[in-house]
A and B are shown apart, each in its own frame.
Chain A
Amino acid sequence: MGDDMEVDDAPLSPQQEQEEGAPAASGGTNSSKVAAMQTHTKATAVRSIEGWIVMVTNVHEEADEEAIQDKFGEFGEIKNLHLNLDRRSGYVKGYALIEYPTLEEARAAIDGAHETKLLDQTIQVDFAFVRPPPGKTGGGGRAGTGGGGGGRNGPGNRNRGGRSRSRSPVGRDD
């Protein structure tokens, strides 16, 4: 699997090199691995707790788990599959989330299935989770949101006890 992996030859932009040097990359991240972690829009994928999550969109409304398994099982072992339904129609909503244990399998699925047909519809396939761009570590409260409701920002509601959000799991890149 992974042998015929397509590696993007595009040179890294200064910003991406910066990202690679970020503390999140715990040692040994070579350039081919960085390329393997790149999304179609040149963001850098991150590993989730138990594997790599791949998003599939434009999934046919009559697709079922077997159809997803048939197409994506050839790239690796599918550890988890979420194929959510439209709450109104009961048909498939149009996306699937697939968990692969390794980066190689996820990369193979993205390279092998992106812009291919599934039940006559051209699907898009990419990593679901990425690293935050440098210098933007989320947070920032609710700046810029208008119309927030009265009352709920009252005493003791937000930021209670100063607990911070847990961040995306980082560190492992296998």
Chain B
Amino acid sequence: MSAANEPFYLRYYSGHSGRFGHEFLEFDFRVLGDGRSATARYANNSNYRNDSLIRKEMCVSSLVIDEIKRIIKDSEIMKEDDEKWPTKNKDGKQELEIRLGNDHISFETAKIGSINDVTDSADPEGLRVFYYLVQDLKALVFSLIALHFKIKPI
């Protein structure tokens, strides 16, 4: 188990501005003071069919944070670099920021439509790590929200 007082922050954003305005999904986790808990925030704005902004905030236990840290460490994302990743474009961008102990990453890249975008990129191995980590983190966040608030994200 990781040290409870190890600094930890995670933020993911994916969005674009287009015909339906600024549409995005964002979540973050921030460990509070003594490490016994962390706030998790989620926002999803889709203007399609007049959907409106959804914002949720919850406080998760240290076991949930330990698991997120474990998933991040196992992925080895902290060893990657976004230098050769596709840059944001008219279809939008994704951002991933993680502070874990003494390590800090802040990546920005284009949206990834399918695994082909990963395979065809200049850094398929690094981008693959990012691609699957984001999916795994989203799955965890969506489960937490679905169970806590009984809403279906997206």
Contact = CB atoms under 8 A, between A and B. Distances in A.
Do the two chains belong together in a single complex?
A: yes
Interface of A: 39-43, 45-46, 48-50, 53, 55, 57, 80, 82, 84-88, 93-95, 97, 99, 124-133, 136, 138-139, 142, 144-149, 151-152, 156-157, 160, 163-169
B148 A53 contact: yes
A87 B132 contact: yes
Contact of B57 (A131, A144, A147, A167): A167
A42 B59 CA distance: 14
Contacts of B95: 147-149
Interface in B2-35: 4, 9, 11, 13, 15, 17, 22, 24, 32-35
Given A46-B59, A149-B108, A168-B58, 11 more contacts: A80-B147, A84-B136, A84-B140, A86-B136, A133-B34, A139-B57, A144-B9, A145-B11, A149-B13, A149-B88, A165-B56
Interface residues of B, number: 53
Contacts of A138: 39, 41, 57, 59
B81 interface: no
Contact of A133 (B37, B143, B147): B37
A156 B47 CA distance: 14
A91 to B, nearest CB: 12
Contact of B60 (A86, A130, A167): A130
A41 B55 contact: no
Contacts, number: 158
A97 B143 contact: yes
B147 A99 contact: yes
B149 A169 contact: yes
Given A57-B70, A84-B140, A132-B37, A50 B59 contact: no
A44 to B, nearest CB: 9
Contacts of A163: 53, 55
Given A57-B66, A57-B70, A93-B136, A160 B36 contact: no
A157 B22 contact: yes
Contacts of B136: 84, 86-87, 93
B33 A133 contact: yes
